[in-house]
Amino acid sequence: MFADLLAQDPVIELAPMAGVTNRAFRRVCREASSDIRTSAGLTGSDPTIYVAEMTTSQALLLRHPETLDLVTFDDDESPRSIQLYGVDADIVGAAVRMVVDEDLADHIDLNFGCPVPKVTRKGGGSALPWKRDLFRDIVTAAVTQAQGKVPVTVKMRIGIDDEHITYLDAGKIAANAGVTWVALHGRTAAQYYGGTADWTAIARLVEHIPNTPVLGNGDIWAAHDAQRMIEQTGARGVVIGRGCLGRPWLFGQIRSAFAGEVVPSEPKAGFILDLMRRHAALLAQMHGDEFHGCREMRKHMAWYTKGLVVGSETRGALSLINSLEELENLLSTVDVNQQLTNEIAHAPRGRTTPTRKVNLPDGWLNSQTLTTGEQSTVREAELSVSGG
């Protein structure tokens, strides 16, 4: 199945997002993308690769219940795609071997793009490719332990900041190690999610590793953005992150654009309100607890209602829901015939932050080779997020 999707040109992938891309969200994306195409008279299977939340390698090996839940998929979910985080080659390799031997997934992505301070300050995430030997060891171990049975891919950023660029060296290392593709987010760790993604870096990486597919990530808010990225960079596919928050039907629109079909229009409010009901119900089912499901749904409310007239009181109440009945009562007050405009729908959403100094271990930038002292530091990065 994964080989069939990889044969799609261009590839469409959901970026793993912590606290967002769980089973419920992935199902909503699949259903919404299919529904919006159906409403436009379009048919066909969904070629998108929907990646689960980041999973910590060590926590997976320890079989933490929360972590095992992250790599649990619906029976009809295919391909099963996970993202692993790790800072130790032996641990990452063992986690990949576990995934393969126990048939836990059909695709493994390696996270080298996380800009979160609690990760980078220990040398993990987007800080790690600076240490070329450590990066090489981890990627090589993962590909080796996958034994050719499960494709291994890499997701990374341009570098730590404008003075410490890593993507060309890291891309070459990953390509030489035999990864299936490299996904590049066109921002540095210092940019976090602010500023504008640098698509020229994606184009340079395409030229730098011509025999390994490159997927582009960053500032894809609409189907035409995905088309422009492919045209401007030569990338083999696109990775969609914040652009699908509150707009899980975006994958269906992008698929239509890539197929040369008429792109389905943005939906009316009724379509969006039904998605909110469905999403909340799926979260409640996933947690086995309506209250916890609704509490998790709160974070999605502002994304879903962006561009809709719902009233300030209703908007505030939606962010505090405790039950599906509460949600239904609030949504019943919203005009279902409102039309979501392109201007609002295609605007940036999600986290935006100004450029800032990246938290790194002391002396991290002094050398691109891992020192003995730094070996213990990076292992703490694994431990700091080992709860899943």
Phi, psi of 164 (to 5 degrees): -135, 80
Looking at the predicted structure, is the pLDDT value of residue 5 above 70?
no
Task: Look up the pTM and report it.
Answer: 0.94
- pLDDT category at 27 given cuts 50, 70, 90 is very high
Cβ partners under 8 Å of residue 63, min gap 6: none
Looking at the predicted structure, is the pLDDT value of residue 45 above 90?
no
Alpha-carbon span 102 to 178, nearest angstrom: 22
Pick from 140, 142, 55: which is nearest to 94 by CA?
142
Amino acid at 170: A
Alpha-carbon span 302 to 349, nearest angstrom: 10
Alpha-carbon span 22 to 79, nearest angstrom: 14
Looking at the predicted structure, is the pLDDT value of residue 59 above 90?
yes
Which CATH fold topology does 2-265+350-384 show? Answer: TIM Barrel (3.20.20)
Active site residue 114: yes
pLDDT at 388: 34
pLDDT digits (tens, 9 = 90+) for 336-354: 999 988 888 888 877 667 6
Phi-psi region of 246 (alpha: psi -120 to 50; beta: other; left: phi over 0): left
CB 214 within 8 A of CB 182: yes
Amino acid at 233: T
Is the previous residue joined to 354 through a cis bond, with omega within 30 degrees of 0?
no
pLDDT at 387: 38
When mean pLDDT is compared across 166-175, 179-188, 364-373, 374-383, the lowest value belongs to 374-383
Per-chain mean pLDDT for the chain:
93
Angle at Cα 356 formed by Cα 19 and Cα 139, nearest 5°? 55
Break the chain into its structural domains and give their ranges: 2-265+350-384, 269-340
Looking at the predicted structure, is the pLDDT value of residue 386 above 50?
no
pLDDT digits (tens, 9 = 90+) for 238-273: 999 999 999 999 999 999 999 999 999 999 999 999
- pLDDT category at 381 given cuts 50, 70, 90 is low
Burial class (CB in 10 A: 0-12, 13-18, 19+), 163: exposed
CATH number for the domain formed by residue range(s) 269-340: 1.10.1200
Pick from 23, 48, 8, 19: which is nearest to 253 by CA?
48
pLDDT at 46: 87
To the nearest 10°, report the CA torsion of 270, 274, 275, 277.
140
Q: Does the fold of domain 269-340 match that of domain 2-265+350-384?
A: no
Span 280-292, average pLDDT = 97
Span 17-44, average pLDDT = 95
